[in-house]
Each structure stands twice: as structure tokens, then as C-alpha cells.
Amino acid sequence: MDIQMGILTTKELDKIGYTDDRLKSLAINTVAKYYKHSDKADVITLLTDVRNNPATYISNTNLQKIAGAFIKAVPAPDGNTFKLMGEPTPLKIYGVDEIEAAAKKQIQLALSLPISIQGALMPDAHSGYGLPIGGVLATRNAVIPYGVGMDIGCSMALTIIDADEKFIKRYEHQIKQSLGKWTHFGMEGELTVPQDHEVLDSPLFGETHLLKKLHGKAVQQLGTSGGGNHFVEFGTIELMEHNAKGLPAKTYLALLSHSGSRGLGANIARYYTQVAMNTCKLPREAQPLAWLDLDTEAGQEYWLSMTLAGDYAKACHDRIHINLLKALGLKALVRIKNHHNFAWKDKLADDTEAIIHRKGATPAHVGELGIIPGSMATPAYLVMGKGSTDALNSASHGAGRAMSRQDAKASTTKSAMKKMLADAGVTLLDGSIEENPSAYKDIETVMKAQAELVEIHGKFLPRIVRMNKE
């Protein structure tokens, strides 16, 4: 019997490969929740693509459960399947008591890959896809696309400004207007004023068919930010004595942004994850950790594409900071940037050459500067790395989520969030309950857990924040 289930029937689901009862249930519930007003043909096309290319959708909030079910349903392939190692690989966990078991299990699985050399888990860690967020992994001449993440080059940028905290009170209205005009958040759209940057002329855009196709999107989205926990905010930063930049130890006006490589990076990640999963056959539970050998054409293509996405993420920060400072007539004293979703060629303590994946982790070599944010209402820290080899020269990329976005939305009201912000002296222009301060771990606890990894050179306090709308 053909049973009607919302806008789809069970027969229609059977035809597109949703033959398992669990898959049918997931599809029906997902369509009812997120796509009930969509055209049936569009929904069928979308669900078919999820079935055919599940890795493409594993980071899509609406579709990741269906995608994950299809990945798990794929039988372990015969022939060229790589076996996981039984011998333990060196692992160091920081803030171990505050990290969920699922994240620990994920990093242990990653360390069982035959290409893995060493790993570390930062104190902000929580489970993700492939590597956990806050996971650091050293591999031999191989790169794992999902070890880098969907938002390649996701990063922080801090500008310390030649002004003090009085500027915020005096020009609050102008700051809000400027943030409204010169920042944009979300999947689609662009700034009203065309943007330009030398990265758009990079010859790397001509290296592959995929990058050629993505150039137009890169032009359109330059200077914008994604959704989720991306933000642009004005606040104050108190610099410590003997700070790395040699500035007087006092409180300055500062601009802080969290953004990434937008559609460019996401499309690169989706494409090469699928290539990796098609060519690197692993046991079912480890399939998301499929890698590309850097001696292969695909591996070299991914590496140059990742490099371009990182440069593009930096360019987005550049335009955000240049536009806002120009609009407000402000002068930059210092600008500091760091990636926290990327892979680097580096050497380990024993001089072994390795590929270091940092998925939600800040590079922290000796003397290296980075920014570790808390939440929309808690401090961010300007830090200098101490070069811990056990941590693979890394530190956390933030406070880390204490609850999922869904749980954060269910457990907090708008009025409760407004009170948190008011108590912290923060004005939020746009933002979601999913990103409310209680959704994150305590940044002070996280910083204490990594005292041997970084030293604090400045403390930033947010004052006027813009994020993606609810």
C-alpha cells in the first residue's frame, strides 16, 4: 500500500532509495520540520542527492542525520580497505574532565589510522564529524579533508585601534550603523558595495575546474561571514605588561571578527571529502576520516585548494576590518590573525615531517600569537604560544560548546539571553539563542586547562556584537 506521509509517499521514498524504515522515518521527519512548504520535486531532488552524496551533507544541520545514516549503511568495501591499527598512538588530552566521551572516542579512532603519528585534544573539544572539534592530528604525507573541516581557514582577526573605551559610548550609534552596512551574515547574499582584494586575482583559481567554477561565488561573498558562531564585534582590550607587540599596557578600543572561507571552502571540502571516501576505503566507522595521499593528483589539488580557501578567509577579514575602520575614521595600531581550521606541513619534536591537522585549534608555536574567543558575552584572549610538543604546538580555538545548538535553543529563552547580555554590558544587534553564552563552556576554565600551552597577552571584552539572525 502507498501511504501518504506529508508531501511524500512511501512509494516515492522507495523509488529514490529510502527503502529502510529508519531512513523513511528520518526523511519524513526532516521534510516535515524543515521543508514542509517546499515544492515536492525540489524535495525529491534534494533527498536523492543526499543519498548519492552523503558526505556533502554531513555538516548540514537539517540533513546530517540522513547523510550519516547513508554513510553508516554503506557496506565496508572489499579489496583495498585499509585496516585500523591496534597499537596506541601518542595522545595528550587537556582539560580531560570537561570533555565528553564522544570526542575522546573520535580522536582515538583517528589515531588508529595507519597514517596517524600523534594526536592531541584541546580543552574546548567536543564531538564533530571526522575529527572532533578541538582535535589535532599529525599524519604521514596525507591530508584528511574532514580533519580540516567544512569551513576551511575559519579564523580569528583582531585589530587593536588607536582609541580608548570612551569611543564606544561616544559613537555607539555610528558603530551600530557601520556594522549594519559593512557586515553580512548567512548562507546567501553579499555586501551592497562591491569588494575587491588581491586574492581574487590569484592564479590558483585557474588550477582546477572546481576552483574556476567557484570564482564567481568568491567575488560575490568577499567580506561577508557565515552563520553559526561567526561574529564581528567592537569591544575593549586590556594589554598586559611586556605584550608581544610592545604597546603600552592599557585599555584600547578593538575590533574582533570570526569568519571563514564561505561557499568557496565549503564546496572544496564537500568535493574532496567525496573523492577521499571514494578512493580511500576504510572500515565503516572510520569512513569520514578518509584521506588523500599528498603524492597523488587529488591530494595536491586539495592542498592548493585549501591554501586558496585560507587566503580567501584572510581576505574576508581584511575587508571587514578595513571597511569598518574607514567608516568610523579609526586607525589600526596592530592586526593579528590566526586560522583554526587548516592543515600545515610541520616537524614533530623528533624532526619527523608531518601534516598537522587543526580542526578547531589555534596554532601555538613558541612566540606565535593567536586569539581565543569565549562567547558573545564573555572575554576573548590574545595569547602567545609556548610551543608544547605534546600539544603539537596547539591550543584551543575558543571556549567550546557545552551543549548542542538544538539543546541551547530548547533550554534558553530570548528574555534569559537578554538578561545575560545586559549583565555583561553587551549590545547584540543580531544573533541567535543557539549562540547564547550558556551554550558554551566557561572560558576561564578552558584557559586554566591550557596554561602550559599559551600565555595571555591581552583580554578582550565584547561590547557591540553582530552575528547571524535567528
* pLDDT per position as a tens digit, 50-96: 887 776 676 577 888 887 777 655 444 443 578 888 776 899 999 99
Of residues 469 and 205, which shows the higher confidence score? 205
| pLDDT tens-place string over residues 402-459 | 988 888 888 888 899 999 999 999 999 988 898 998 999 999 999 999 999 999 999 9
- The pLDDT, as a whole number, for residue 2 is 43
Averaged pLDDT for residues 142-164: 97
- The pLDDT, as a whole number, for residue 76 is 43
- The pLDDT, as a whole number, for residue 75 is 47
Averaged pLDDT for residues 311-331: 98
Integer Cα distance of 38 and 210 in angstroms: 29
Percent of the chain with pLDDT over 90: 71
Got the DSSP string for 303-360?
HHHHHHHHHHHHHHHHHHHHHHHHHHT--EEEEEEEESEEEEEEE-TT--EEEEEEES
What pTM was estimated for this model as a whole?
0.85
- The pLDDT, as a whole number, for residue 10 is 80
- CA distances (Å), 123 to each of 103, 385, 400, in order? 11, 15, 8
**DSSP type of residue 265:** H
Got the DSSP string for 157-186?
EEEEESS-THHHHHTHHHHHHHHHHH--BS
Averaged pLDDT for residues 341-360: 97
Q: Is the CB of residue 119 less than 8 Å from the CB of residue 135?
A: yes
Predicted confidence (pLDDT) at residue 3 exceeds the cutoff of 50: no
Radius of gyration of the chain (CA): 22
Averaged pLDDT for residues 375-396: 97
Average pLDDT, the chain: 91
Structural domains of the chain, with CATH = 4-73 (no CATH), 155-262+309-339+362-467 (3.90.1860.10)
- Residue 88's CB: how many other CB atoms inside 10 A? 9
Q: Is the CB of residue 84 less than 8 Å from the CB of residue 112?
A: yes
Integer Cα distance of 399 and 443 in angstroms: 5
Predicted confidence (pLDDT) at residue 390 exceeds the cutoff of 60: yes
Q: Is the CB of residue 384 less than 8 Å from the CB of residue 368?
A: yes
Integer Cα distance of 160 and 164 in angstroms: 10
